[in-house]
Structure 1
Amino acid sequence: MRVAIAGAGAVGRSVARELIGNGHRVLLIDKDPAALKPERVPDAEWLLADSCELSSLEEARLEACDVVIAATGDDKVNLVTSLLAKTEFAVPRTVARVNHPNNEWLFSEAWGVDVNVSTPRIMSALVEEAVTIGDIVRLFTFRQGNANLVEMTLPEDSPYVGKPVGLIPWPENTSLVTILRDGQVYTPAGEQPIESGDELLFVSSPEGESELQDLLSPSTGE
């Protein structure tokens, strides 16, 4: 997979290293000469260019990218980069960094953003996930599919403690992705029971979240 990252600062370089480590080809783009430090990520391609300029993105051959990540510290730049990537180069997937929470509403399909990443929101969700039992916690939103990645730690009084996964009437448009138990990751299987304290990860429609809540932990909604 070829990935272009606009913004070669600490965030962009960290993402690049991770992607390269997973076998992907990465191009780092930045208009600031001081940000170009090829020795920091030697296996990446580097380009001194403004990702808000159409000519720069043509030079970067964005049409050959599978993903574009707008990871600069400027929300305006991230929005324009995502919009150009999507509308001018038909990049299949765009991911944009949200620096200021008040701007999060702008990072939508209208601006060519498939996935927005807001650090404050992620940190808040992780705190909730760590301390909350019996409540649905939204971890991530998938823009294109109208679906969310949500988590619940199963409480002791759930009516489905000890029940096999295949016999639980999951809400429509909801899928149990994995079960985290005692530091282990389990793939859900029909005969496998869920237990008190299990961390359950789901992909669910927004409507399915409240149904999941009522199904697995009805006492929290009282």
Structure 2
Amino acid sequence: MRFVIIGAGRVGLRTARVLRDEGHEVTIVERDEPTLRRARDQEFTTVEGDGSRETVLEEAGVTEADAVGALTGDLNVNFTACMIANHYDCRTVMRIDESYREGIYRKYADQVDEVIYPERLGAIGAKNALLGGTIRAIADIAPYLQVVELTITDAAPVNGYTISELHLPADATLLAFGKGEGHLEIPTEDLSIEDGDRLVVLADFDVLSQVRQLLVGESPTRAAANAGSGSSSAAELLDSEADSDSRPDRESESDTGGVN
């Protein structure tokens, strides 16, 4: 497949390397010459210019690309590039950085194929490493929805239940089930839930605490703290993370793509 990546900062360059390692053709667009030089040094096909300009994207091969990843630190550049790519029937992936609030997500999510927030994904990985063991966040589907994998423990109230007897909160849905270390699969009603089994659940942040208590056996206080509720609402926690992530750092300085 052919990909155009806009932005040669850390996010763009790492994404390009992964795609190339898998055998895909990748062209990188970057306006900042020193940043672009890093991509050239790694032998990528590059185009120097503003990624929000149609002529630059045409030079990069957008007319023949399967997908465009607008991965700069500038939301306006990313959105404009995706709108141009849509005109050429490319799949579009847009990075957002400024904040991870529902209003911003909804504003853009319907107009591109995928919205990503790299800092949030990195935070999920760090959280999993810190928590360890029985709970693993897989992805944020939207600002208030998360997919988590939970491992049943001896302390779980549902230990010994069958899938048909499992009643999750209204804003949580069971997606997959795995016996011990076995493969995840679509659950059937007669499967028993035992210590070491894994359940993948899609849940609203507001009910994550209840889900953790039910499937892992955490105390209400610990479940609330780990799920990001308790004294602060999920929305407040997301907003505070977004505010800290939006502060200038080395990456935002280098991920220019379309602006100096």
Q: Do they fold alike, i.e. is TM over 0.5?
A: yes
Calculate the TM-score normalised by the size of structure 2: 0.60
Deviations 1:170-219 (A, max 9, x none): 789845447596xx6733376876554666444x3649966855753577
Going by fraction, where is helix more abundant, 1 or 2?
2
1:149 aligns with 2:151: no
Other-structure match for 1:39: 41
Question: 2:72, 2:61 → 1: CA distance?
Answer: 19
Structure 1: which 5+ residue stretches go unaligned?
A: none
CA apart distance, 1:96: 1.5
CA apart distance, 1:28: 0.8
Correspondence list, 1:73-88, <5 A: 73-86=73-86, 88=87
Other-structure match for 1:106: 104
In structure 2, relative to structure 1, the CA distance for the partners of 1:10 and 1:134 (3 Å cut) is closer
Contact 1:163/1:194 (8 A) holds in 2 = yes
Contact 1:2/1:25 (8 A) holds in 2 = yes
CA apart distance, 1:17: 1.0
Question: 2:30, 2:151 → 1: CA distance?
Answer: 42
Moved >6 Å (runs of 4+): 132-136, 164-167, 169-173
Deviations 1:66-125 (A, max 9, x none): 322122232332232233323x23322424242x33678434463634222240x23443
Look up the equivalent residue of 2:139 and give its one-letter code: L
- Identity, % of aligned positions: 22
In structure 2, relative to structure 1, the CA distance for the partners of 1:148 and 1:3 (3 Å cut) is farther
Look up the equivalent residue of 2:121 and give its one-letter code: I
158, 161, 167: which one aligns with 1:160: 158
Correspondence list, 1:1-222, <5 A: 1-34=1-34, 35-36=36-37, 37-40=39-42, 42=43, 44-86=44-86, 88-98=87-97, 100-101=98-99, 105-108=103-106, 110=108, 112-113=111-112, 114-119=114-119, 121-129=120-128, 130-131=130-131, 137=137, 139-141=139-141, 148-161=146-159, 174-177=173-176, 186-188=183-185, 195-196=194-195, 200-202=199-201, 204=202, 206=204, 212=211, 216=215
In structure 2, relative to structure 1, the CA distance for the partners of 1:93 and 1:221 (3 Å cut) is farther
Question: 1:169, 1:214 → 2: CA distance?
Answer: 13
Deviations 1:14-58 (A, max 9, x none): 111111112222111112232134231x2x422222111122222
Look up the equivalent residue of 1:39 and give its one-letter code: D
Contact 2:152/2:215 (8 A) holds in 1 = yes
Look up the equivalent residue of 2:91 and give its one-letter code: P
The DSSP-based 3-state class of the residue aligned with 1:46 is: strand
Structure 2: which 5+ residue stretches go unaligned?
A: 222-260
Look up the equivalent residue of 1:96 and give its one-letter code: R
Residue-pair matches, total: 212
Bigger mean CA offset, 63-72 vs 23-32 = 63-72
Bigger mean CA offset, 57-66 vs 25-34 = 57-66
* Greater RCO, CA 8 A, separation 6+: 2
In structure 2, relative to structure 1, the CA distance for the partners of 1:83 and 1:213 (3 Å cut) is farther
Going by fraction, where is strand more abundant, 1 or 2?
1
In structure 2, relative to structure 1, the CA distance for the partners of 1:140 and 1:172 (3 Å cut) is closer
CA apart distance, 1:139: 3.0
